[in-house]
Structure 1
Amino acid sequence: MNNQSTIERLTYEKYYCNTSSVFYMENVCNRSTILDINLSSRGLASLPIEVLNKLMISLDDSEVRSKKMASLESDQPFNSLSELEYLAIRNHNISHLPQDIFNGLVLLHILEIDSNELTGVELNTFHSLSKLECLTIRNNNNLTHLPQDIFKELTSLTILILDLNKLTSLENNIFNSLPKLEYLSISRNNLTSLSQGIFNELKSLKYLKLNYNKLSSLKKNTFHGLSSLTSLYINYLDISNNNLTSLRQKVFNGLELLTELYLQSNKLTIIEPNTFNTLSELEFLDISDNNLQNFSSKVFNGLESLTQLYLKSNQLKIIEANTFNKLVNLEVLDISNNTLTSLPQEVFNGLKSLTLLSLNSNKLTDLEPNIFKNLIDLDYLNIGDNSLRYLPQKLFSGLKLLRSLYLNSNLLTSLQSDIFNNLANLKLLDIS
């Protein structure tokens, strides 16, 4: 028996066949076909190199998780696992990943480094992982910075998740070498700004999540070059739950294929006219829970494909007459929980595809006759929880398809006898 075989046999006996060892695993000891090695809940303080070295050369999946390993005992602890495809290192106290730690993992496709205590990642940590497709570095409470070329060799990467760290900034060219990246999430960090052009080379990106950061402004052309992006989360492009106070013209330039834009739960007070005018494919826009009091009638210019618009929980006091006129495909409009006292008679003209309209929880004192007459497809109308004392004749003219009508929690004392005469399909009426 050669020396290598002897060492391998002794290693098996020392760790995997010793029933008193924390590494005891019957399947490994018996040299069964091994697709998964789980070292969770074994009270590990460290991972001896010989546990892996020269043993699992055909290993496909490995999870190294809980309890609380503080270090990896070797510069290259995974060097012999040339066929490993999945590696998860979760729920430990690891604070540092040295260079070349993943050398030898030439077939690795998925790497998860989650819920550790990382303070830093060295420049060449991932440089040998040319086959890697998914990388997650989540919930590392002390990670504030990443080197500019940290992802330089990851040319096969399609998914990158950096959520729940404490990143305060990103180097300008950090994503430049990721031509295949389709999904990027940097949610729940401490980002306060983004460099202009930081996403320029991500030509394949489809989903970008930046929600729950501390972004206070966005520069013009921040997203220029993201020609494939379909969803943007700043909350989903998600940019929600940040500190944005304004949106300027050209900030969304280059996002011609964007279909979903989430801007809710910021501190927006200003949206400039034509801010969205390049988003011709946008279908979903949420600007709820901000501080908007008004906006230009041109603010939604260019959004001919929009089907859902959410403006609830702002401080809107007025909406100009032609604000929604060009939203010919809009199906859902929610303007609830604002401070509107009145609406122009022509405000909903052009919304021939609208099926749901929520105006509840405002301060409306009256409504113009025929204000809804062009909403020929409207199915649901909520004008409850306002200050309406009177409903004019013909208020509901044209609403032949309406099935649900909420008038509850107003100040109505009487109703005209024929006020509901045109509502032949009405199924639900709440006037409580």
Structure 2
Amino acid sequence: MMIKPAISLILVFLVIGLYASSDGNSSSFNTTIDCNSCPASCNCDTEGSIHCTEKGLTAIPPGLIHCERPDVIILNVSFNLIQNISVDDFNGLPNLERLFLYDNLIDDIEEYAFSDLTSLELLSLDGNRLTTLKPNVFMGLIGLKSLLLYSNSISSLPVGVFDDLISLIVLALHNNRLTSLNPQLFANLPNLQRLYLYGNGIRDLSDSPFQHLSKLTLLYFSSNNIIELTNASLAGLNSLRTLVLRTNQIRTLSHDVFIHTPSLTSLYLDSNRIRRISSDVFSPLTRLQRLVLSNNLIEVVEDRAFSELRSIVFLYLRTNRLQSITEKTFHGLFNMQQLIMYDNLITSIPGNAFRQAVNLRRLWLQDNRIECLNEKAFAGLNYLQLLQLSDNRISYLPKDVFQYTPRLTFLLLISNRLERIETFPFRNLRYLAQLALYKNKISFIAEGSLENTNRIYYLQWNDFRTNITQDNMIVCDCSALWLQEYLRSNRPYYETVLCGYPIEVRGQRLRSVDIANCTKGLKVSVTPSSEVNYVQSGACLELQCKANQNVDVTWKRIVKGSEQALEEDHSSFCTNKSVDNCGNTDTEGLLVLKDIAAADQGIYVCTATLENVTSSVIRQIQIGEPPVIEKSPISVVARDPPSYVIFEAAARGNPPPVLKWYHNSNEIDFKNTTKMYLTSNGSLIILGPQFEDNGQYKVVADNGAGSVEAAASLTIYFRSACNRGSGCSNDGQCLPVHYCRCPDGYSGDGCEESQETAPPSTTPTTPLPSSGDYYYSGDYYYSGDYYYSGDNDYKRKKRGVAYSQYDYDFTDMSVSSSRKKTLGKQQKIKQNIIKRIRNNAELRKKI
């Protein structure tokens, strides 16, 4: 009878043992949980961190589930095999601040799983297998600041899933499978500042999904499938500073797309399919500092498209399809420091293209199709330090083209089509440290081209990695002696100036070559003096070479790096096409080419030798494209004198033609007139036209390969006293257009006022407004503080009173020294007029 109590006692111990075995997740009946020690398979430190990474765990360690661990602040269970998170997994960690669960196999999280973690600030669930989230999964996380859900497979999110996250600052949802965003998804995230959504498949933002995120400062939305941005796309983002939209499918930007983002400082729109930048799309972004538009399909940037970006510092336009820029493309970018435009299709740089980018430091224009540079292409760039023009088609550098860049330090012209440098383009670049010219065909550089450039550290003339026959070939004769002396005296740290001619010194360093005695003064010259001769196909060209001493001259041609003799016939050096010259009777040293074709293009050398002293001159022959008028001026007839008259004109050709204007067969000297203004594209503006401005106007475009002209007339009918029948007093002549030309000593609408009897000051009548910047009253045209009267008599206005009359004839610029001050005032008048015209909306559309 005593056996039963013993058996019962044994059973009790067995049950206790089994219970202990079950709670300890162990096969041993004797295993128990020690909540005061570091959980098995984990590493702990004294600062409240527990790290259980890469341990092959399939669940949260038992030492955490059934224990109160108020000391734990950081828990890292990443890189394991955990699949599920249950509601009891973290209920003993009331002070946990950071929880790392990334790179597991989690595909399910129970609702309220983190509800006890009221102190949690960072939750990392990235790199798992989540496809969606339960509505209340983040319930209770009112202190959470960073939620990382990226690199899962989330395709949908229930509305309200983030409602408890009132303190959230960072939300990372990138690299998932989202295709849309409910407009209420982020409705209760009042403190969110950074949102990462890149690498999804979101197609549309038209429902204003960010309308509640008034504190968001960064939105990373690249690599989605957005096609269009509309007014609603960015609604609510008043505090946004950085917007990344690269690598989408954006084709158009509506004119009001950025009105909700006035605080933007960085905008990334690269790698989209944008084709056009309209003039008003960026207008609201007055604080923008960085704009990236690279890798698009941009063909057109409308004038003044960036004019409101007064804070811009970096502008990226590389790898697009831009074919041209104008002087208004970068209008208003006064603070821009870097402009990156390489890998486009730009063919030319017009004058004043960057004039308003006065703080530009670096300009990348390589890998375009630039053939010509306007002599004022870089006007205004006083602080430019780096200019990259490599991999273009530049064959000619205008005289002093870099004079507007006095601080230029790095100039790269690699892989262009330069053959001669005779216009002193590098002169006075005192800060120039690197000049890269290799992979051109330069055979001559004029003496003085490197004047005041004694800081050059890298003078890269030839590329040692390529065959010399494929690179520049300097003619190492007396004409290069100055360059040799420059290299020897300045000794650039790295220079590669090699000889290409004469043949016997080919490939040798110019600095080391022994150039023969040049003291004999032998010199040859070629007529015409143009270094590059552009001719039409099929035309005839004569080049006459003569020496300054009684020696013979010879013509040779450089073909594939070798000299090729030309045929001689009756003292004429001719191609084998014809021995007949083109009409020149002086055949001494005459090179004649008739019916010029593409095969005749290239370099020709005229050489004279005197007692082992050689002098050579090289000329380049290139088939040019005669100019073609693209826009012809249109005749103007006006009943009343307008504020200005504009004759529009434009021409193209190779080389680019020079446009000259003529008034009644007399060429207009724009440097010596304050009345007429020539725009960068060749149009003519006449400011405040008078009777003497009537007549015929002709524009002539000439580029050496040909010339073309177009004409128009100006007829303005002036109304004055004689038009009303009163006649002209004091023998004044009433002209056919009813305009009184007064004799000396008389003035006024009808010549009724004597200069001797006229009052010392007059108050103009109420001005009649006209079309723009000027208004007309009697014989006065007003503009700013000045107005002018009659035959260019200028008066200054002060407090409504005219005084200090100046007589000045626009057509006579030979003024005495006593009137230079007057001339200066007239220039100020012109500048004021031009400024007002540039601000005239009607005129801006025309030029």
- Counterpart in the other structure of 2:113: 77
Per-residue deviation at 1:32?
A: 7.0
Residue 248 of structure 1: how far off its partner (Å): 0.9
Q: 1:146 aligns with which of 181, 189, 192?
A: 181
Q: Do the aligned residues in 1 keep the contact of 2:80 with 2:105 (CA within 8 Å)? A: no
| 1:31-430 superposed matches below 5 A | 31=69, 33-52=71-90, 54-72=91-109, 74-140=110-176, 142-231=177-266, 237-430=267-460
| Inter-partner Cα distance in structure 1 for 2:73 and 2:206 | 38
The higher relative CO (CA closer than 8 Å, separation ≥ 6) is in: 1
Shift of 1:257: 0.5
Decide whether aligned partners of structure 1 residues 271 and 65 sit closer, same or farther in structure 2, where only a CA change above 3 A counts.
Answer: same
Q: Give the Å deviation of 1:322.
A: 2.1
Residues 11 and 155 (structure 1 numbering): CA distance in 2 closer, same or farther, change over 3 Å? Answer: farther
Question: 1:209 deviation in Å?
Answer: 0.7
Secondary structure of the equivalent of 1:135? strand
Q: Aligned partners of 2:139 and 2:23: how far apart in 1?
A: 23
CA distance in 2, matches of 1:243, 1:145: 21
Distance 1:164 1:10 in 2: 47
Deviation readout 1:73-107 (Å, 9 max, x if unpaired)? x2221122111111011111110112121111111
TM-aligned CA deviation for residue 382 of structure 1: 0.7
Residues 350 and 376 of structure 2 are in contact (CA less than 8 Å); yes or no, is this contact kept in structure 1? no
Contact 1:197 1:223 in 2 (8 A): no
Q: Given the two structures, how large is their TM-score scaled by the length of structure 2?
A: 0.47
Structure 2 CA distance for partners of 1:11 and 1:396, relative to 1, 3 Å: farther
Q: Distance in 2 between matches of 1:25 and 1:416?
A: 86
1:27-72 deviation digits (Å, cap 9, x = unpaired): 88694721222222321222232212x2222111001122211111
1:57 maps to a residue whose letter is: P
Please report how far the alpha carbon of residue 182 of structure 1 lies from its aligned counterpart in structure 2 after TM superposition: 0.9
Larger mean Cα displacement after TM superposition, 294-303 or 101-110: 294-303
Q: Where does structure 1 lack aligned partners over 5 or more consecutive residues?
A: 1-8, 232-236
Q: 1 CA distance for matches of 2:232 and 2:342? A: 32
Structure 2 unaligned blocks of 5 or more = 1-19, 27-32, 42-56, 463-847
Residues 181-200 of structure 1: CA deviation (Å, up to 9, x unaligned): 11111011111112214324
The amino acid across from 2:271 in the alignment is N
| TM-aligned CA deviation for residue 227 of structure 1 | 2.0
Cα distance in 2, alignment partners of residues 152 and 278 from structure 1: 33
- RMSD over aligned CA atoms reads 2.2
CA deviations 1:174-225 (Å, max 9, x no partner) are: 1111121111110111111122143242221111111111111111021113
Q: Amino acid of the residue matched to residue 149 of structure 1?
A: Q
Q: Is the 8 A contact 1:166 1:189 kept in 2?
A: yes
The structure 1 segments of at least 4 consecutive aligned residues displaced by more than 3 Å after TM superposition are 9-22, 25-32
Which amino acid in the other structure matches residue 332 of structure 1? R
State how far apart, in whole Å, the 2-side matches of 1:188 and 1:425 are: 47
Q: Structure 2 counterpart of 1:287, which letter? A: L
Q: Is the 8 A contact 1:196 1:219 kept in 2?
A: yes
Q: Partner letter of residue 60 of structure 1?
A: E
Q: Deviations over 1:325-363 (max 9, x none)?
A: 111111111111100111111111111111111111101
Q: Which AA in structure 2 matches 1:153? A: N
Please say if residues 216 and 239 of structure 2, whose CA atoms lie closer than 8 Å, have aligned partners that are also in contact: yes
Q: Displacement, 1:309?
A: 0.7
SS at match of 1:62: strand
Query: How high is the sequence identity, in percent, across the aligned residues?
Result: 27
Contact 2:199 2:224 in 1 (8 A): yes
1:49 is paired with a residue whose SS is coil
Query: Is the 2:428–2:451 contact (alpha carbons within 8 Å) kept by the matching residues of 1?
Result: no
Whole-angstrom distance in 1 between the partners of 2:102 and 2:338: 43
| Cα distance in structure 2, aligned partners of 1:12 and 1:341 | 83
Kindly provide the amino acid, as one letter, of the partner of residue 38 in structure 1: N
The amino acid that maps onto 1:127 is D
Letter in 2 for 1:375: T
Decide which moves more: 354-363 or 15-24.
Answer: 15-24
Tell me how far 1:166 sits from its aligned partner: 1.3
CA gap 1:292/1:12 in 2 versus in 1, 3 angstroms: farther
The count of residues paired between Structure 1 and Structure 2 equals 416
More strand by share: 2
Change (3 A) 1:418 1:40: same
Offset of 1:24 from its aligned partner? Answer: 2.6
Query: TM-score when scaled to structure 1?
Result: 0.91
Quick one: structure 1 residues 172 and 392, their matched pair in 2 at CA, closer, same or farther if it must change by over 3 Å? farther
The answer to whether the 8 Å contact 1:167/1:191 transfers is yes
Aligned to 1:6: none
Q: Letter of the 2:402 partner, please give it.
A: F
Q: 1:34 to 1:132 in 2, by over 3 A?
A: same
Distance 1:86 1:304, change over 3 A: same
Q: 1:312 to 1:266 in 2, by over 3 A?
A: same
**Structure-2 change in CA distance of 1:111 and 1:10 (3 Å):** farther
Q: Report the AA paired with residue 164 of structure 1.
A: G
What are the Cα deviations for residues 249-299 of structure 1, in whole angstroms up to 9, with x where unaligned? 211121111011000111111111111111111111010010111133211
* Secondary structure at 2:88 match in 1: helix
Contact 2:253 2:281 survives alignment (8 Å): yes
Instruction: Output the amino acid matched with 1:289.
Output: T
Residues 192/12 of structure 1: CA separation in 2 closer, same or farther (3 Å cut): farther
Counterparts of 1:197 and 1:19, CA distance in 2:
54
